[in-house]
Amino acid sequence: MPRKCSRCGSANAEVSLPYAKLSLCRDCFLEYYIHRVKRTVEKYRMFRKGEAVGVAVSGGKDSAALLHSLRRAFLSQKIVALHVNLGIPEYSDRCQEEAERLAESVGVDIYILDLKREENVSLSDFKRTIYKKKICSVCGTIKRHSFEEIAGRAGVKVLATGHNMDDILSFMLSSLFTKQWAQLVRLKPVLPPLFSWMTRKVKPLIKISGRENLLYCLYAGVPFTEIECPYSKGAKTKERLKALEILSMNNPNIKYQALDAFLEISKILEEKIKLPKATPCVKCGFPSRDGICAYCKRMAYVKEILSNG
């Protein structure tokens, strides 16, 4: 006979969560998921009642699940969606369409920054530069700057991102192997702003896996794009995730154990490691190490390449 749901005891179980020793039906899983998101927000005091929250939505499953669940968990909170169109042929416009559809479905406003319109540059233009094999790094630089820019236009001081547990563990391993201790500190659930006018970065999905985000979207009917970024093939993050999946085969709890260990270690690192002091970029005012931020450097470089044909 089919296994019954661990929560309601009446419907058939459809989702197995070994780490929690639960087998849940569709409705109970959705309720459980929303409760976990709410509990994470409250535990780490990610935002206060009355604060406007901007959610970075890419069009993918993780940010879609984040926006939808936050809207369900915090009905009275002001929440807006933020989206960056990077100008990747076919892919970016599809992502924007899904982001707009998502925002409409949950009843929130959406603010969009179109990189091509703003800078007359697209992420694809970097394929013609020395960054062609490091396009994901450039993408990260652009998105961090752009989402902060849109957050300012939307008037929000809290920026929620869809980084899930798998993302955090992948970045954690990368930082450990390369001894980038400061990067480890930045992976914590709440990251204070470098300058007073910037946003507080929060990660409400830090304890939820990518698989659970996908199931949430499918069960709740949340719109998202299933098309993979054409530039993400061969990314090192995928290789590290494969290693984690292999380890999980024998121990379903290993990811959660690793995350808990990391969160404990990050508290110690935060006390021991001083993050590099940031100075305002002379061009845009954003944080920099030497007076010109990484975003402005990348933009000046690619525009010079484009102007030279």
Q: What is the distance, to the nearest Å, from the Cα of residue 209 to the centroid of all Cα atoms in its chain?
A: 12
Least trusted range by pLDDT, from 4-8, 41-45, 182-186, 273-277: 273-277
Tell me, yes or no, whether 296 lies in a domain: yes
Same domain, 255 and 301: no
Amino acid 65: pLDDT: 98
Single out the residue of 98, 108, 115 nearest to residue 70, CA to CA.
108
Three-state DSSP class for residue 274: coil
Tell me, yes or no, whether 131 lies in a domain: yes
Least trusted range by pLDDT, from 99-103, 273-277, 283-287: 273-277
Range of the domain at 297: 277-309
d(CA 281, CA 160): 24
Same domain, 288 and 153: no
Q: What is the DSSP string of 121-155?
A: --GGGGGGSTTTT-HHHHHHHHHHHHHHHHHHHHT
User: Burial, 296: exposed, middle or buried (Cβ in 10 Å; 0-12, 13-18, 19+)?
Assistant: middle
Contact by Cβ (8 Å): 69, 222: no
d(CA 112, CA 85): 7
What is the per-residue pLDDT across 235-268, written as a single tens digit (0 to 9) for each?
Answer: 666 666 777 778 777 887 888 888 988 888 877 8
Three-state DSSP class for residue 56: strand
Looking at the chain, the whole-number percentage of residues with pLDDT higher than 70 is: 97
Tell me, yes or no, whether 5 lies in a domain: no
- Residue 221, domain CATH: 3.40.50.620
Same domain, 106 and 173: yes
Amino acid 8: pLDDT: 95
For residue 266, the surrounding DSSP H or E stretch is helix 254-272
Our CA dihedral for 66, 208, 199, 96, rounded to 10 degrees, sits at -40
Place 96 in a pLDDT band, splitting at 50, 70 and 90: very high
- Predicted TM-score (pTM) of this structure: 0.93
Tell me, yes or no, whether 283 lies in a domain: yes
Same domain, 46 and 171: yes
Tell me, yes or no, whether 208 lies in a domain: yes
Single out the residue of 47, 53, 24, 10 nearest to residue 212, CA to CA.
24
Three-state DSSP class for residue 8: coil
Place 92 in a pLDDT band, splitting at 50, 70 and 90: very high
Same domain, 200 and 284: no
User: What is the average pLDDT across 262-281?
Assistant: 81
User: What is the average pLDDT across 276-285?
Assistant: 91
DSSP E strand stretches across the chain: 15-17, 22-24, 53-56, 79-85, 110-114, 158-160, 190-191, 200-202, 279-280, 287-288
Same domain, 307 and 165: no
What is the per-residue pLDDT across 40-84, written as a single tens digit (0 to 9) for each?
Answer: 999 999 999 999 999 999 999 999 999 999 999 999 999 999 999
Q: Write the single-letter amino acid at 137.
A: S
DSSP-derived pairing of the beta strands 22-24 and 15-17? antiparallel
Amino acid 25: pLDDT: 97
User: What is the average pLDDT across 130-158?
Assistant: 95
Amino acid 121: pLDDT: 96
What domain count does the chain have?
2
Tell me, yes or no, whether 15 lies in a domain: no
Same domain, 222 and 180: yes
Tell me, yes or no, whether 8 lies in a domain: no
Amino acid 201: pLDDT: 97
Same domain, 165 and 58: yes
What is the per-residue pLDDT across 178-236, written as a single tens digit (0 to 9) for each?
Answer: 777 777 878 889 999 999 999 999 999 999 999 999 999 999 999 999 998 998 875 66
Amino acid 237: pLDDT: 63
Amino acid 236: pLDDT: 62
Same domain, 33 and 69: yes
Tell me, yes or no, whether 287 lies in a domain: yes
Single out the residue of 169, 253, 162 nearest to residue 205, CA to CA.
162
User: Burial, 301: exposed, middle or buried (Cβ in 10 Å; 0-12, 13-18, 19+)?
Assistant: middle
Same domain, 149 and 282: no
Average pLDDT, the chain: 92
Same domain, 227 and 105: yes
Same domain, 266 and 192: yes
User: Burial, 297: exposed, middle or buried (Cβ in 10 Å; 0-12, 13-18, 19+)?
Assistant: middle
